[in-house]
């Protein structure tokens, strides 16, 4: 009897604890995320920092045609398409040699350049859509679901093309890889095989691009643990997100010295439209800017300036690590024991249990920089970029604390401990098990980076950090012109034709407005770039389909008041 009462008390205490955690969670997601906190944890991607990490200009402008808030992949994609599209190329442009009225674009960043989710993610360009496809098909119909798949898949070729055009293949490490969904429970593997069948029935052109592996020899040859139930594999991409974005921003500053202005460590505190016949006013600690167009590219922080988007875009804090690979990784098989044979050429999602929300993700830096694409950065050493740990101990009050949490100065150290062991020593031998080998493959010259003196030590984990994602309440990004209900304010109806604004390029752009591309739900690398590019096309006043270079957005990504009303945070959570 005593044992039963003890168990009941424990169960009631657990329910009470969870109820309290859910109550606190509700308050967090309804609250403003504020502006990004100062002194965030340093991601391994940002070591060493870019030369423009703290870029600013001496004079703060009073007017800009366009103000972009956020300097990550979304804001950078938007700026690149807007400026290159407006001026028609990438040669150096100044007011005197352009046949167009000069455009003035200001980018504001609350911290150092590219300090948000872009610099903190896993580096995957992994448009694997079969798990969600049956739900999309049911909700949106076959054609719309197919459109979402095409949109996401376009990011692999697009990112490679952009890296090559910008001469950043070496710095960004952009490359094609084979990606593997690795399942350790038979029931989830069988479920996912069924979803893949539904996917390939409707997207038959991809049938030759997928493989289902469940024989023991294939699993062993992939150097994965023997207890793997099955694998689903296809092609994907990987890149160094921080170096790609900062490299593009550096080029934009040089190409458009009189049109593009980047202000780091300059948070936007408020946006207002006080009069219907005037411009927006964007306020910062350095001063206020009048503008015709405001671009919200802040993902998890978007609802700070857009109060109605609270609970529609929900911040979520995740944990990432950089780790040294085991000394035996790289063999193709027992008969092909060549080291480095696959290092840097694969990415993984690991599913340890029967719930698809429990997963980890792993990509890898190359083991060298190709001679054909030299880099100004130190040579990579095959570092494993490993994150996730979502609900690895089930749903509890502890892992609920990361939902709505925007403090990326710290992270869940229980998740960090799990990630530190899961590759080889944890989980009945870890993901790679006996194939891992010895610990401590040296990580090249990571301790030699200029301006960064942290001692990385000799253990498996080189560095850990956190990042803030933005989860959409309906799991789709929010893209387009913000309706007044979703912005929380009416925009200018009749922009003034008086004063300095008359001499700008604003009249050749779309009508004044606030615009957004945010809420990528942890999959920004296969959504954010094209969303930013499509948004730039809208601001340039181009109709959908008018310019083949501008991507067509699936309708379910476009922000509307009807969609906003229907999106419920409990669906995302």
HEC profile of 102-135: CCCEEEECCCCCCCCHHHHCCCEECCCCCCCHHH
Supply the pTM of this predicted model: 0.91
- pLDDT of 97: 56
Position 135 scores a pLDDT of 96
As a whole number, mean pLDDT of residues 266-277 equals: 87
Give 305-347 pLDDT, tens digit per residue: 999 999 999 999 999 999 999 888 886 655 555 555 788 999 9
Answer whether residue 430 shows pLDDT above 70: yes
pLDDT of residue 438: 83
The pLDDT of residue 446 is 44
Give, for 385, the enclosing helix (H) or strand (E).
strand 384-388
The pLDDT of 533-537, averaged and rounded, is: 96
What backbone torsions phi and psi does residue 347 show, to the nearest 5 degrees? -135, 160
The stretch 157-168 carries a mean pLDDT of 97
* Residue 319 burial by Cβ neighbours in a 10 Å radius (0-12, 13-18, 19+): buried
Can you read off the two tokens belonging to residue 466?
């956190």
Which tens digits make up the pLDDT trace of 379-421? 898 999 999 988 776 665 556 788 899 999 999 999 999 999 9
pLDDT at 506: 67
> Given pLDDT bands bounded at 50, 70 and 90, which one contains residue 220?
confident
Backbone angles phi, psi at 319, to 5 degrees: -120, 135
What per-residue confidence (pLDDT) applies to 551?
84
**Cα 28 to the center of its chain, rounded Å:** 22
Encoding tokens for residue 167? 């001469």
Name the band, by pLDDT with cuts 50, 70 and 90, for residue 447: very low
**Positions of E strands within 166-308:** 175-183, 211-213, 230-238, 260-263, 270-272, 280-284, 287-296
Burial 121-149 (b: 16+ CB within 10 A, else e): bbbbbbbbbbbbbbebbeebeeebbbbbb
Reported confidence tier of residue 25, pLDDT bands at 50, 70, 90: confident
Which candidate, 122, 103, 119, places its Cα nearest to that of 111?
Answer: 119
- Angle at Cα 153 formed by Cα 480 and Cα 149, nearest 5°? 70
Lowest-confidence region among 69-78, 85-94, 163-172: 85-94
Give the model's pLDDT for residue 93. 64
CA distance 427 to 425: 7
Tallying the residues shown for the chain, one arrives at: 573
Contact (Cβ atoms closer than 8 angstroms) between residue 302 and residue 518: yes
Place of tokens 């703290």: 54
pLDDT above 90: residue 129: yes
Tokens at residue 565, please? 């009303």
- The per-residue DSSP string of 43-71 comes to PGGGSSPPTTTT---SSPPSEEEEEEE--
Would the pLDDT of 441 be above 90? no
Instruction: Flag the least confident range among 53-67, 145-159, 287-301, 450-464.
Output: 450-464
Strands (E), 126-248: 175-183, 211-213, 230-238
Q: How many CB atoms lie within 10 A of CB 437?
A: 18
Determine the pLDDT at residue 327: 84
Dihedral (CA of 386, 473, 203, 216) sign: positive
Cβ-count burial of 481 within 10 angstroms (0-12 exposed, 13-18 middle, 19+ buried)? buried
**Mean pLDDT rounded to a whole number for the chain:** 87
Per-residue pLDDT, 424: 86
For tokens 């001469």, what's the residue? Answer: 167
Backbone phi and psi for residue 348, each to the nearest 5 degrees, phi listed first: -140, 150
Confidence class of residue 499 from pLDDT cuts 50, 70 and 90?
very low
> What's the whole-number mean pLDDT along residues 58-75?
97
Is the pLDDT at 527 greater than 50? The verdict is yes
**Residue 122 C-alpha from the chain's centroid:** 8
């Amino acid at each position: 009897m005593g044992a039963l009462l003890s168990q009941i008390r424990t169960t009631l205490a657990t329910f009470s604890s969870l109820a309290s955690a859910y109550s606190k969670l509700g308050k967090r997601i309804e609250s403003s995320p504020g502006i990004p906190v100062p002194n965030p944890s340093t991601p391994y991607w940002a070591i060493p920092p870019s030369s423009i990490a703290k870029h600013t200009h001496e004079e703060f402008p009073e007017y800009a045609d366009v103000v972009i808030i956020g300097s990550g992949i979304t804001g950078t994609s938007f700026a690149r398409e807007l400026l290159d599209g407006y001026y028609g190329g990438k040669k150096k442009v100044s007011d005197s040699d352009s046949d167009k009225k000069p455009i003035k674009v200001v980018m504001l960043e609350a911290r150092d350049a590219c300090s948000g989710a872009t610099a903190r993610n896993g580096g995957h360009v992994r448009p694997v859509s079969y798990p969600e496809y049956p739900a999309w098909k049911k909700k949106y119909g076959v054609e719309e679901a197919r459109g979402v798949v095409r949109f996401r898949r376009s990011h692999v070729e697009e990112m490679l093309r952009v890296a090559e055009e910008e001469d950043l293949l070496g710095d960004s490490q952009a490359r094609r890889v084979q990606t593997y969904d690795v399942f350790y429970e038979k029931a989830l593997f069988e479920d996912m095989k069924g979803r893949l069948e539904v996917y390939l029935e409707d997207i038959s052109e991809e049938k030759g691009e997928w493989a289902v592996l469940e024989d023991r020899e294939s699993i062993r040859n992939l150097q994965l643990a023997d207890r793997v139930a099955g694998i689903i594999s296809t092609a994907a991409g990987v890149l160094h997100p921080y170096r790609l974005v900062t490299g593009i921003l550096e080029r934009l500053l040089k190409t458009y010295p009189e049109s593009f202005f980047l202000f780091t460590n300059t948070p936007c505190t408020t946006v207002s439209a006080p009069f219907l016949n005037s411009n927006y006013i964007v306020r910062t600690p350095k001063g206020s800017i009048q503008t015709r167009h405001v671009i919200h590219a802040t993902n998890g922080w978007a609802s700070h300036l857009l109060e109605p988007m609270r609970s529609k875009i929900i911040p979520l804090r995740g944990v990432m690590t950089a780790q040294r690979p085991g000394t035996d990784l790289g063999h193709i098989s027992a008969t092909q024991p060549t080291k480095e044979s696959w290092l840097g050429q694969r990415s993984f999602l690991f599913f340890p249990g029967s719930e698809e929300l429990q997963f980890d993700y792993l990509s890898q830096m190359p083991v060298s920089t190709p001679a054909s694409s030299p880099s100004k950065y130190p040579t990579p050493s095959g570092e494993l970029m490993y994150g996730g740990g979502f609900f690895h101990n089930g749903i509890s009050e502890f892992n609920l604390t990361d939902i709505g949490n925007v403090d990326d100065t710290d992270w869940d150290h229980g998740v960090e401990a799990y990630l530190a062991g899961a590759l080889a020593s944890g989980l009945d031998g870890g993901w790679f098990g006996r194939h891992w080998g010895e610990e401590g493959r040296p990580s090249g010259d990571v301790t030699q980076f200029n301006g960064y003196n942290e001692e990385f030590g000799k253990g498996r984990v080189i560095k850990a950090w956190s990042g803030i994602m933005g989860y959409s309440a309906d799991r789709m990004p929010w893209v387009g012109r913000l309706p007044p209900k979703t912005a929380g304010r009416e925009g200018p109806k009749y922009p003034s034709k008086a004063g300095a604004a008359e001499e700008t390029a604003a009249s050749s752009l779309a009508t004044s407005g606030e615009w957004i591309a945010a809420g990528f739900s942890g999959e920004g690398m296969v959504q954010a770039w094209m969303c930013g590019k499509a948004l730039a096309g809208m601001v340039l006043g181009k109709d959908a389909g008018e310019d083949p270079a501008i991507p067509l957005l699936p309708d379910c990504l476009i922000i509307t008041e009807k969609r906003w009303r229907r999106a419920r945070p409990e669906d995302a959570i």
